[in-house]
Structure 1
Amino acid sequence: MTDVIGLVLPFFGLIFLGFAVARITRQPLEALGWMNTFIIYVALPALFFQLLAKTPIERLTEWSYIFGSVFSTFVIFVLMFSISVAVARGAIAEATIKGLAAAYGNIGYMGPGLALLAFGEEAAVPVALIFCFENIMHFAIAPMMMALSGGEKAPPGVLVLSVVKKIALHPFIIATAIGVFAAYLEFRPPMPVERLLDYLARAAAPCALFAMGVTLALRPLNRVPHELGLIAALKLVLHPLLCYVVLSWVGKFSEIWLFSAVLLAALPTATNVFVIAQQYGVWVQRASASILLTTVLSVGTVTALLYMIKTGILPPDLFP
């Protein structure tokens, strides 16, 4: 247990430091803009490129692994969406945000840092693959469902083009594609460039976690959704459990790959859910509350999951 606490304490400690500093200094949320730009456009792309470029190309085409992890996330979204539509009698826009709150984990800011800390550099490849393909799904689902609800007024052609641009131009996805191409060519950058990329990659996780803590501190907790219990149970418990069962069933993956996917599935609601809610003016304050409260609860659930993994309570293959 001491090893697990030593593993998660620095991780959640960085989030807490960001939260505490934001409360003390009282800087506006907009002051975080350049750090977010550095994280999203420079540091995390450098991390993904560095680790993918050094990976044998055959390891980057595990389609059954990608299917299993993305399918698990989609099932959670559909489940929460369906329950919400049934209860709210057809409120598609609101149900979409609730579904994302239950399914869209913080795999961008929290995922790489925690997975690499827990499992080492070998976790970078599955993390990058899951991030890319799950974000493709989320970037497509949100505008499509908003269009069905009548909240998206753009013509179909413009809507499709917007979705394609969001996917193709996302810096993480671009960095992943370049990293895969570099792996295919067995390309290695010159030593000065390699050193620069290493510096940037090392800064990615600490900066991302600190920024996340700041963001949580500066978003007001005004309206707690009555669906929070269900959202938290789906996101923090059922999602990782389903991912574990599905991946154990669809293929024989290495222990690190399997547990990396399960760990990412166990992460709390992504801050992007608030961004999407704000973009469409739907369920905004409750989305913010869901992010904050699932993040707080994840301190216990993620610690428990890592304890079960590290002590062997959770076997690396459910169907040996």
Structure 2
Amino acid sequence: MMAVISLLGVCLVLGVLARRTDRFPPQTVPVLNSFIIAVALPALVLRVVHKLEFHAALLAAAASPWVVFVVAVALFRGVGARVGLKRESIAALVLTGGLSNTAFVGLPMAEALLGREGLAVAVVVDQLGTFLVLATLATLFAARASAGEGEALRPAALMRKVVTFPPFIALVLALVLRPLHFPEWVDTVLERLGSTLTPLALFSVGFQLQLRGLRARAGGLALGLVFKLVLAPALVVLALWALPVEPIVRKATLMQNAMAPMVSGAILASEHKLDPELAALMVGFGIPLSFLTVLIWMQWV
């Protein structure tokens, strides 16, 4: 787990330092984000979903990120407007506070703390939960939030953005191709491309991370992190205790939903120009804080 924490921290810091030099052009973030959305994330999805095994007993685990995202939309829209947050800032909080970092942080932590059995549950939460939310509801939400009034009223235009979202296309392909066995070289290529996602995404987030505007964004940041690291896990704990699920399912599901804000959610916010600075702050502060809060939450199950 220390290797994972080190990789996350180094990539984030490198992005912050790179912004202070003249070696990287202003187009760095859009170019990196485009590669992440169009190449790295689809490759990861195509490889992992193609191998995924799902059992009906894990339905509650897969459903949990969907519930958290819907609650995030309702809460941030209701509270955000009352505290004076702009529409773009509210959307950024939904896309980060409503989505957990279940892949790059969640899976290694699940394997380290819960073993292979817990990892299997964590994969279901990640792929059939968090990622599907990202590829469908979150993409639809981001498109609607960034669209003009006229476009926002056209469902066909919004759905077109979802079905042309590269990771969604990769998801469909992975499901269609499940009966086929990938050759070893195809699996290797997908693995190598997918492995670029974490360092590039965190480098991009670090590049956008600016602390000089922290005071002005402290209210929105606090609201987002309290929901993501405190309220969302509490909601999952209450739901899990009311359901007849195995202890390992309960632990892995809670762990995944207690994770830091999703890096890809911040990238999605940046791509749609939905307050990328606040989204970067959510990830930049949320990841280190989550290492502590997740361990605290694990004492509840």
Instruction: Tell me, yes or no, if the aligned pair for 2:229 and 2:258 is still in contact at 8 Å.
Output: no
Instruction: Tell me, yes or no, if the aligned pair for 2:18 and 2:207 is still in contact at 8 Å.
Output: yes
State the match for 1:224 in structure 2. 216
State the match for 2:107 in structure 1. 116
State the match for 1:160 in structure 2. 155
Structure 2 alignment gaps of length 5 or more: 112-118
List aligned pairs for 1:240-319, cutoff 5 A: 240-250=233-243, 252=245, 254=249, 257-259=252-254, 261-264=256-259, 267=262, 270-276=266-272, 278=273, 287-308=275-296, 312-315=298-301
Identity across the alignment (%): 19
Give the match's secondary structure for 1:188. Answer: coil
State the match for 1:178 in structure 2. 173
State the match for 2:125 in structure 1. 126
How many pairs align?
A: 288
Please, what TM-score do these two structures have when normalized by structure 1? Answer: 0.73
State the match for 2:139 in structure 1. 139
Q: Deviations over 1:227-255 (max 9, x none)?
A: 32333322332223323433454562625
Instruction: Please state how far the C-alpha of 1:260 moved relative to its aligned partner.
Output: 5.1
| One-letter amino acid matched to 1:37 | S
**For the structure 1 residues 15 and 256, does the alpha-carbon distance in structure 2 shift closer, same or farther, using more than 3 Å as the test?**
farther
**For the structure 1 residues 238 and 142, does the alpha-carbon distance in structure 2 shift closer, same or farther, using more than 3 Å as the test?**
same
Is the deviation greater in 162-171 or in 232-241? 232-241
| One-letter amino acid matched to 1:55 | L
**For the structure 1 residues 46 and 256, does the alpha-carbon distance in structure 2 shift closer, same or farther, using more than 3 Å as the test?**
farther
Instruction: Tell me, yes or no, if the aligned pair for 1:113 and 1:205 is still in contact at 8 Å.
Output: yes
State the match for 1:91 in structure 2. none
Instruction: Please state how far the C-alpha of 1:21 moved relative to its aligned partner.
Output: 2.2
Instruction: Tell me, yes or no, if the aligned pair for 2:69 and 2:98 is still in contact at 8 Å.
Output: no
| One-letter amino acid matched to 2:236 | C
Instruction: Please state how far the C-alpha of 1:179 moved relative to its aligned partner.
Output: 1.9
For residues 268 and 159 of structure 2, the distance between their equivalents in structure 1, rounded to whole angstroms, comes to 18
State the match for 1:318 in structure 2. none
**For the structure 1 residues 261 and 112, does the alpha-carbon distance in structure 2 shift closer, same or farther, using more than 3 Å as the test?**
same
List aligned pairs for 1:35-74, cutoff 5 A: 35-56=32-53, 58-59=54-55, 63-74=59-70
